[in-house]
C-alpha cells in the first residue's frame, strides 16, 4: 500500500484537474485556477514521494503525464478560451449556445476563442516528448507544462483581484491573448534548456542559482501578488538562458 502513495497523490492531481475543467467551462475561472493550483501542488509531491519511498514505476510515470495533460494542459486551454471569448464577445463562451445558435453565424469572432485550445495540443506534445527525451533527467528542454499553466492562470486572478482599467484592457486585448497563446505553445516545445528546481544536495554553492531564484520569487509574490506570476515565469526563462555562461 505504501508503494501506491505516489500514484494516489497523482490521482488526486487528476481529480483536481477534472474539477477545474468543470469550473472553467462554466465560466468560474477563479475556482478553476485554485483547483488547478492544487493539482500542480500535488504534482510536485508525487515525484518527491516516489523518490523518498523508492516507489518509481512505469505506471506512475504514465499516470503522472496523463494527469498533467488534464491539469496543466486542458485546464489552461479552456481558461484561455474563456478569456478570448470575453475579449472578442464580452461574455464567457457557452458551448451549447454556440452550436445551437452560432452555426451559420457570419461573424467569425465567435469562433476565435477556440485558438486557446492550441495550448492543450502543445502541452500534450511537450509531455509526450518529455517521456522519451533522455536529456531531461536533471533539467528541462522547453517550458514545463506546470509553469506554462501558472502563466495562463495568473491572468484571471489578476483580473479578479488586482484589476485596474489599464490592466483589464491590456489582458483582455484579443491580440495580446492570441500572441500569448502562440508564444506559450512555442515555449513549451522550443529547444531551450531550462534549469529544474530539483535539489540533489542542500549545499548553497551547488544550488546558488536555485536559492537566489526562489528568494526572488518569494519577494516578487509579496510585492506584486498575482502579477508576480508572469514576471517569475519570464525571469525563470531569462535566468536559464544566462545560467550556464555565468557558471
Q: How many CB atoms lie within 10 A of CB 200?
A: 8
Q: Is residue 223 part of a domain?
A: no
Classify residue 225: in a domain, yes or no: no
Q: Is residue 206 a part of any domain in this protein?
A: no
CATH code, domain with 163: 1.20.120.1760
Is residue 216 assigned to a domain?
no
Is residue 155 assigned to a domain?
yes
- The model's pTM is 0.89
Size (the chain), residues: 247
pLDDT tens for each residue of 115-137: 999 999 999 999 998 888 777 76
Residue 234 lies in a domain: no
Q: What pLDDT digit, counting tens, does each position of 194-236 carry?
A: 988 766 656 666 677 888 889 999 999 999 999 999 999 999 9
- The three state secondary structure string of the chain is CHHHHHHHHHHHHHHHHHHHHHHHHHCCHHHHHHHHHHHHHHHHHHHHHHHHCCCCCHHHHHHHHHHHHHHHHHHHHHHHHHHHHHHHHCCCCCHHHHHHHHCCCCCHHHHHHHHHHHHHHHHHHHHHHHHHCHHHCCEEECCCHHHHHHHHHHHHHHHHHCCCHHHHHHHCCHHHHHHHHHHHHHHHHCCCEEECCCCCCCCCCCCHHHHHHHHHHHHHHHHHHHHHHHHHHHHHHHHHHHHHHHC
Q: How many domains does the chain have?
A: 1
Report residue 246's pLDDT band, with 50, 70 and 90 as the boundaries.
very low
Per the domain annotation, does 166 fall within a domain? yes
Domain holding 170, by residue range, is 2-92+114-195
Residue 241 lies in a domain: no
Q: Which among 194, 198, 180 has a CA at the least distance from the CA of 80? A: 180
Highest mean pLDDT among 53-57, 111-115, 207-211, 241-245: 111-115
Amino acid at each position: 500500500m505504501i508503494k501506491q502513495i505516489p500514484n494516489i497523490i497523482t490521482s488526486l492531481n487528476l481529480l483536481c484537474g477534472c474539477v477545474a475543467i468543470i469550473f472553467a467551462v462554466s465560466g468560474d475561472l477563479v475556482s478553476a485556477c485554485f483547483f488547478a493550483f492544487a493539482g500542480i501542488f500535488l504534482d510536485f509531491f508525487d515525484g518527491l514521494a516516489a523518490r523518498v519511498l523508492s516507489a518509481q514505476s512505469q505506471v506512475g510515470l504514465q499516470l503522472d503525464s496523463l494527469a498533467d495533460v488534464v491539469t496543466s494542459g486542458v485546464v489552461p486551454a479552456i481558461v484561455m478560451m474563456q478569456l478570448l471569448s470575453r475579449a472578442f464577445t464580452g461574455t464567457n463562451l457557452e458551448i451549447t449556445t454556440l452550436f445551437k445558435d452560432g452555426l451559420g453565424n457570419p461573424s467569425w469572432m465567435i469562433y476565435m476563442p477556440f485558438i486557446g485550445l492550441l495550448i492543450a495540443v502543445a502541452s500534450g506534445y511537450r509531455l509526450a516528448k518529455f517521456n522519451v527525451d533522455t536529456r531531461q533527467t536533471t533539467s528541462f528542454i522547453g517550458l514545463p507544462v506546470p509553469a506554462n499553466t501558472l502563466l495562463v492562470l495568473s491572468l484571471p486572478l489578476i483580473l479578479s483581484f488586482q484589476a485596474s482599467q489599464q490592466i483589464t484592457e491590456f489582458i483582455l486585448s484579443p491580440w495580446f491573448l492570441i500572441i500569448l497563446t502562440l508564444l506559450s505553445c512555442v515555449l513549451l516545445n522550443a529547444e531551450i534548456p531550462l534549469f529544474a528546481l530539483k535539489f540533489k544536495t542542500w549545499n548553497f554553492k551547488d544550488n546558488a542559482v536555485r536559492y537566489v531564484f526562489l528568494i526572488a520569487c518569494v519577494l516578487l509574490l509579496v510585492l506584486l501578488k498575482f502579477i508576480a506570476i508572469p514576471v517569475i515565469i519570464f525571469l525563470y526563462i531569462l535566468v536559464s538562458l544566462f545560467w550556464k555562461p555565468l557558471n
